[in-house]
């Protein structure tokens, strides 16, 4: 449970580094070992307050985030970042915010020599594609399928062979009759 690595766990348990991988593989097939790992995994998740619903909700917030929740298009065509009404749910989708302030000439100043402080705000939302992909896998929207074809792309030839041996007759049972 330390690093979720069977080979390293076997080494920590005292098995040699040479045999640790195969021993871990053997141990992981045992029902009692699987049950103990499931028990410890559940205890860890419970301790963190981790549930499938929380994970799915967070993925949903990231996957369905929308730039219009964070910017306000202006009449001049520019989009201005407005985080004044940001909700906790919207904030969950923000991965990074960077601000940069500088002094720039202000063409609207009365004397023409005025300056103003300009603040550029850049932000990056969480990876929508990754979140949506995980949600799609959970919902079984994307199933991996393998198509098998025969020679030349045609049907796969199937030959049925009877492998059921005929029972041998017991000669001693029939001799006395």
- pLDDT bucket at 113, cuts 50 / 70 / 90: confident
Q: What is the pLDDT of residue 127?
A: 92
Q: What is the pLDDT of residue 136?
A: 92
Q: Are 122 and 98 in contact (CB under 8 A)?
A: yes
Confidence check: pLDDT of 123 > 90: no
Domain ranges, ordered by start, for the chain: 1-50, 61-130
Q: What is the pLDDT of residue 175?
A: 60
- Which of 66, 59, 64 shows the shortest CA–CA distance to 135? 59
Instruction: Tell me how far CA of residue 24 lies from CA of 20, 37, 39, 42, 107, in angstroms.
Output: 6, 13, 18, 21, 72
Q: What is the pLDDT of residue 62?
A: 92
DSSP state letter for 169: P
The pTM of the full predicted model, rounded to 2 decimals, is 0.53
Looking up tokens 């045999």 gives 19
């Amino acid at each position: 449970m330390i690093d979720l690595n069977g080979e390293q766990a076997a080494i920590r348990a005292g098995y040699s580094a040479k045999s640790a991988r195969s021993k871990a593989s053997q141990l992981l097939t045992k029902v009692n070992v699987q049950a103990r790992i499931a028990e410890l995994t559940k205890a860890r998740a419970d301790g963190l307050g981790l549930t499938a619903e929380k994970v799915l909700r967070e993925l949903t917030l990231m996957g369905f985030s929308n730039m219009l929740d964070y910017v306000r298009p202006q009449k001049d065509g520019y989009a201005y970042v407005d985080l004044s009404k940001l909700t906790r749910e919207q904030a969950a989708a923000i991965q990074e915010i960077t601000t940069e302030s500088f002094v720039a000439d202000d063409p609207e100043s009365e004397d023409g020599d005025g300056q103003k402080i300009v603040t550029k705000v850049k932000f990056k939302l969480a990876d929508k594609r990754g979140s949506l992909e995980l949600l799609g896998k959970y919902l079984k929207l994307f199933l991996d399928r393998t198509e098998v074809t025969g020679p030349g792309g045609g049907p796969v030839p199937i030959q049925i062979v009877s492998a059921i041996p005929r029972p041998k007759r017991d000669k001693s049972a029939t001799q006395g009759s």
